[in-house]
Amino acid sequence: MEPLTSAPAPERALRPHRGVAPGTPGRAPRWLAAGVVTVGMVFAVPFGYLVVRNLADVRRSAALLMAPAAVAPLARSLVLATTVAAAAAAVGTAAAWLVTRTDVPARRLWRILLPLPLVIPSFIGAFALIAAFAPGGLAERLIGVRVPGGLRGFGGAFLVLTLLTYPYVFLPVAARLQQLPSSLEEAGRLLGRRPTRVFASVVVPQIRGAILAGALLTFLYAISDWGAVELLRYDTLTRVIFVNVLDPPTALALSLELGALAVAVVVLERMVTGGLRQVEGAHATRGLQISLGGWRPVATGGLAALLFAALVAPVGVLAFWSVRGLARGAARAGAVVTDPGQLLGPALNTVGISLATAGIAVAVAAPVAYLTVRYRSRAGQAVNAVIVAGFALPGLVIALALTFWTLGAPGPIVTAYQTLHLLVTAYVIHFGAQALRAAEVTVASVPRRLDDAARALGAGRGRRLLTVELPLMTPGLLAGGGLVLLSTMKELPATLLLAPPGFDTLATRIWTSAEDAFLADASVASLLLIVLSGVVIWVLGVRRSEVLR
């Protein structure tokens, strides 16, 4: 290769290769396309296995899906997910409007605090609700309220999931409101329209896409959740699937139904947000600030009540039981409250396997994003869709599919069951789309003219990637990896089904303690997981909605 200081021929200086004009995507390297297709085949295993197994006996699968025992849980899942999505959309939109468009005090502080309920997994939120109304719990001590059996069933599940998922609406709506010019709103105000009418007729049409996108993500979260509905004893489809784990035909048929529904939701989300991504990169503008007047204390109180219910109250309940347990100790041997140091192993396991998953997910997603964005490859787009479908599948469904696949596979594949390799594979399939989304945005943000300039100077493809593109893409790739890290730390059903014997994470330790009604032990472990998740989410700067979408 010629040195970089040598001057190439003028007619070749602006010619990337084989007559392709600068800035025009050329043909992707074969090794890159082959590697990406291989990745897509791995990600397609769970859903493909579900389809093949159910097609093997279509009549039986159809009969199982049409049985009342399957239809009723599906109906309950749809009702729960729909009501949670609607409530989260209303709460998240109202909170976003208050902190971006009004003179509510400490707006910047609210924008940082309101997304923080994302650090609390749903099963911890459900456990905190149960612990709050348990005999001798915080509710009974402070206000003398004791609910027999706790707030279980639909009411408890709806409350927990709404409080923990409204940030999925708040973040994109707040970001969109920050980008909207204030000229249209000012014109409406000058015409004498009331602020509420201006909001409904001017603002809502411009943020409708962000609201729908956040609501669909919330719907997907609620319909695939297992931990909260299991603790709160509400029979949704995920809970019925887990109960029937020892009945493969039933579990696989219901898993396919849930997976197909989740994939349909993601497709709908992509259709809704497909036309919005071009405007998300716009520079933020100073929007119209509405004076609330005498309503300022009411608005401030509403935001405070929301944050208290979604973050302060759960953490307060966990802290109450933790302090109570640590102060009184426990009569049984091996209790966490008598030896908190035993959480060190699960904590290290949680961080270690989450870091491994994040690193592998980024390494897998970056080539797919590069092939899709840089070369506009149809193969890359197909693999992209498969990876997104993996994110749509609930962790429980992915774990079940991999479990039955490995146990029924010939040769050495059987030995992969309940190994760290299979567990990490399930994590990467489930959360790889989060790294992929960040990688796509990062690759698209690297100016192609830099690559053209380096190519004109004689730099080969590998050198251009290592010295020009990769340094610019690193921050975005790390952000995507951080999001995978956060999600993996909180994953429960896949860990319960696929973790090797004796391999405990904080999530599984919390679950075991909560199931055995050891409230103090579960509270201590929950606080530790929340702290670790909080550190990750703070480093990520999750208040930026682009990281989550």
Maximum C-alpha span of the chain: 86
CA distance 49 to 28: 30
CB 174 within 8 A of CB 100: yes
- Helix/strand number for the chain, H first, E second: 28, 0
Residue reference for tokens 């021929």: 9
Cα–Cα separations (whole angstroms), residue 410 to 41, 184, 373, 416, 500: 18, 65, 38, 11, 20
**Best CA proximity match to 377, nearest among 387, 367, 364:** 367
Other Cβ atoms within 10 Å of 537 Cβ, number:
19
pLDDT of residue 135: 67
pLDDT of residue 381: 84
Write out residues in the chain with pLDDT < 70, as ranges: 1-26, 135-137, 139-140, 143-150, 182-186, 188-196, 270, 272-288, 329-338, 446-469, 540-549
Q: Which two tokens stand for residue 526?
A: 């929950």
Does an H or E element contain 542, and which?
none
DSSP state of 114: T
CB 505 within 8 A of CB 351: no
pLDDT of residue 425: 95
Q: Each residue of 355-364: b (16+ CB within 10 Å) or e?
A: ebbbbbbbeb
Nearest 10 degrees: Cα torsion 312, 315, 319, 325: 140
**Best CA proximity match to 113, nearest among 191, 166, 187:** 166
- Radius of gyration of the chain, Cα coordinates, nearest whole angstrom: 25
Q: What are residue 114's phi and psi, to 5 degrees?
A: -65, -30
CA distance 83 to 81: 6
pLDDT of residue 170: 92
Interhelix angle 420-445/378-392, nearest 10 degrees: 130
Q: H-type helices in 446-518, by residue range?
A: 448-456, 461-464, 470-490, 493-498, 506-515
Q: H-type helices in 375-419, by residue range?
A: 378-392, 395-408
Residue reference for tokens 């994590």: 427
Sign of CA dihedral 364, 218, 476, 311: negative
